[in-house]
Structure formats: C-alpha cells, structure tokens
Amino acid sequence: MPGSLSIDTISQRLCLTPRATPTREAPPAVLSPKLSLKPTYIIDDKVTESEAVIETCQAVIAGTSTESSMTVQEACTELTKRKASIKQSKKLMSDIAAKMFQLYANLLSEESHSHWDKIVTARTASDPWIDIYGDERDGVSGKTYDSFQDCVSFHLQLQFKSDAAETQQCYISTGLKKPSKVPVRQFFLRVERLNGYLATLPCLYFSPQRNATTKLVKPYEDAELADILLRCCPRQWQDQYRLTNQGTNPQSTKKLLMVLETIEDSFLAKPTVQPSKGADKSNGYADKSGKRKGTNSSADRIPKKVRKDSKYCQLCNEHGGAHTTHNTLECRKYNKDGTPKYGGAKKSFSNGKSKANFAQLIERCAKLEKGLKKASKAVSRRKKRSYSSDSSSDSE
C-alpha cells in the first residue's frame, strides 16, 4: 500500500543509533519517551500540593483564614519550608527534563541531531514560540514535559508525513496479508509491533490541519487486532477457526494465536499435491499415482477429444480428395454432379485405380532406367572407337 511504513523503515527514518559509546544499551521504550518522564508527574503533584499549603499559610499570617488551626508562628515555619521544597522540586524537574532531552539526542545520528537541536531551541528558548497546532504563544516555556513532547512531535514530522498514523492504521486494517513462508507467530509479532507505532507516528490530530472532525489515532484494541489478524490469514484457516469456535469472532490475540498454530501444523502435515505430466489439465491436478482423475487401472485409456466442428465432404469422399477438411457445400474441387470445377482431363480415381497408376509409374521408371543405361553404353562405345581411330592415324 502506498505510504505504509514497515518496522525497518520507521527505524531507519528515526536514525535511532547511540552516539556516546558502542556498548551503551538503549532504553526499552525508545519511541515512547513518555514512560521515562513519569517521575516528573510525581514531582509536579508535590509542587502543586506545596503551593496550596503556601496559600493557606499566607492566609493564616494575614489573619483571613478561619478554617486552618495553625498559629502564625507555625504558618511562618511551614511557609519557609514549603518554599524551599518548591524551589528544590523545580530544580529537580528541570534536571530530569534536561537529561531526557540529552538522552533523546544521544540516540540520534549526526544529521538528525542537528535538526533536534534547532527544534529544541525554537520550542524551549524562543519568545514567542509556536506550538504543535501552529498557534503562537508568548513567554519562554523552558524544558518541561509538555515541551519535550512537542519537540518529539516536531522531530517526527520531519521524518514522516503529517498523516502517517492514519495511513499506517489503514494499512494494518486493509493492506496486510500473511505470507505463506512466514510462521503465524512471527507474523503476529510484527503486526503487533506496527500497531504499537500508531501511538507515536504523527497524526492530523496534532497538526495545524486539525479540525472539528479530526480524531486521535490510537492503537487497535486486543479484540480489534485479533479480528484483523484472523482476516489476514488464508481463507481455509479462517473457515477452520470458525468451525472449531462456532462462528464467533476472536476476542484475544493470545487465544487466536494458539488456535492458528494448531491449524498451521495440521496444514503443514498434509502432503502437497503437485501436478504431473499425466495430470488432467481440465481439473488441474492428478492423484499420487500420477494418473488422471477417473482412471482406475492401466487398461483405462483416456478418450480422445471429439471435435465439435467435424467437417465432411461427400463429393471428395466419392471422387477422391480430402473429405474431412471442409463440408460438401464448401467444396472447391468438384461440382454437384461430380465433374471437376477447373476443367482438364482429371479422372476420378478410387483406391484400386490409384494402386494401378502407381504400378504403371514404377514400370515406366524402370524402362527409363534401362534406356539410360543403354544410352550410356552406346556413348562409351563411340568414345572408344573415336579414340582408337585417332591413335591409328597418328602412328601412320
């Protein structure tokens, strides 16, 4: 399918190769950096909680709080403590974000690394800056979780089209078909991996082309993916699965894989029938003995095909000639009364007359051969006589 992306193509376009040391192992979620930034959520929650406590302490110090039981001295102590905690948390968040930006950059090639640096500078250090939807925002955002996700999206949009996720989703649902030489387990693994890329590839939902009807592209659920995988298998496998499962649709890829592996083993155990030289061309295959279907012994012979358009000429059959190449009304050799059409003294002949004519021809050839022999002998005698007369005249 045009525009669809394979696993190898996605990896090559992202250029995910470590640049620091050859022995350095990449994290398991290279294309999902969201997992590595989860601690920032916890720190952010702590900051939000501390800010709420600071507001309460300030209200107690100002004497406007009636709900809190803290004294003014306790509120001042807690206020100082919370401000220091917020300052430390924000510093920790910025350090974690900077490390994640650097980690993503280390996994890129030299060419992609330069593009990444430009994207990070434009998104985190510019004022104003443009978000993923094309809107202009004021202020410097800095290196945060949201800015990191925007930078990753901008970088992916350099390598893929803006509707890569929609194209890939359509390819998985309509363009896949299990190859005959690929085991069903390997096919399942590759399709599940392609399905996982749908959450990372650029989609129209996060682009300036977004409108009210644009939907976010998500990976297929387990039941949906199981139904797609079943439709990718051969038709005989699908029929066998529905026979064994009473026509119900699959709800789990793991259970579907177990059933399809059993079906795959049963089909591999069956001997493949190959057509032989004696196979019937009409049905396309022969049995194990090499005989065409319908022959039970060596005495049974294949009947010859009867020509549907058999031709017969009665005139040529009676007077001589090829009588199976045309019909009587199409005869060009004889008239209806049996006389030749092109004049001449062509005599009608039968099988007996043709034999007599052949014997006469042989007799004539023999007579001609005898005449040639006699003529050659006479010529040789004349040569001898002329030679003897010439030699006698020279001697005189």
Residue 9 has pLDDT above 80, yes or no: no
Residue 305 has pLDDT above 70, yes or no: no
What integer pLDDT is reported at residue 26 of this predicted model?
A: 33
Mean residue pLDDT across the chain: 76
Residue 227 has pLDDT above 90, yes or no: yes
CB 233 within 8 A of CB 65: no
3-state secondary structure of 182: coil
- Ramachandran region, residue 95 (left: φ > 0; alpha: ψ -120 to 50; beta: rest): alpha
CB 202 within 8 A of CB 150: no
pLDDT of 253-291, one tens digit each? 999 999 999 999 988 877 655 555 554 444 544 455 555
Omega within 30 of 0 (cis) for the link into 128: yes
pLDDT of 188-225, one tens digit each? 999 999 999 998 899 999 888 888 899 999 999 999 99
Whole-number Å distance between alpha carbons of 163 and 176: 19
What integer pLDDT is reported at residue 17 of this predicted model?
A: 39
Whole-number Å distance between alpha carbons of 196 and 191: 9
- Phi, psi angle pair for 137, to nearest 5°: -120, 150
Residue 167 has pLDDT above 80, yes or no: yes
DSSP 110: H
pLDDT of 116-131, one tens digit each? 999 999 988 888 888 8
3-state secondary structure of 161: coil
**Residue from 86, 100, 115, 92 nearest 13 by CA:** 115
Residue 24 has pLDDT above 50, yes or no: no
The helix or strand, by DSSP H or E, that contains position 137, with its residue range, turns out to be: strand 136-137
Residues recorded for the chain = 396
3-state secondary structure of 177: coil
Residue with the bigger pLDDT between 155 and 303: it is: 155
Whole-model pTM above 0.75?
no
Helix axes 235-244, 222-232, angle to 10 degrees: 130
Least confident of 141-145, 230-234, 255-259: 141-145
CB 133 within 8 A of CB 207: yes
Whole-number Å distance between alpha carbons of 196 and 253: 14
DSSP string, 300-359: --PPPPPPTT----HHHHHHSS--SSS-GGG-SSB-TTS-BTT-S-PPP--HHHHHHHHH
What the block records as the tokens of 114 is 């330069």
Those residues with Cβ within 8 angstroms of residue 172's Cβ, 6 or more apart along the chain or in another chain: 191, 194, 195, 198, 220, 228
167-172, long-range: CB < 8 A, 24+ apart:
167/1, 167/3, 167/4, 167/5, 168/4, 168/5, 168/194, 168/197, 168/198, 168/201, 169/198, 169/217, 169/220, 170/1, 171/1, 171/3, 171/4, 171/5, 172/198, 172/220, 172/228
Least confident of 71-85, 103-117, 256-270, 326-340: 71-85
Residue 349 has pLDDT above 50, yes or no: no
What the block records as the tokens of 173 is 């649902």
- Phi, psi angle pair for 279, to nearest 5°: -75, 150
Place of tokens 């177990």: 258
Least confident of 255-259, 301-305, 323-327: 301-305
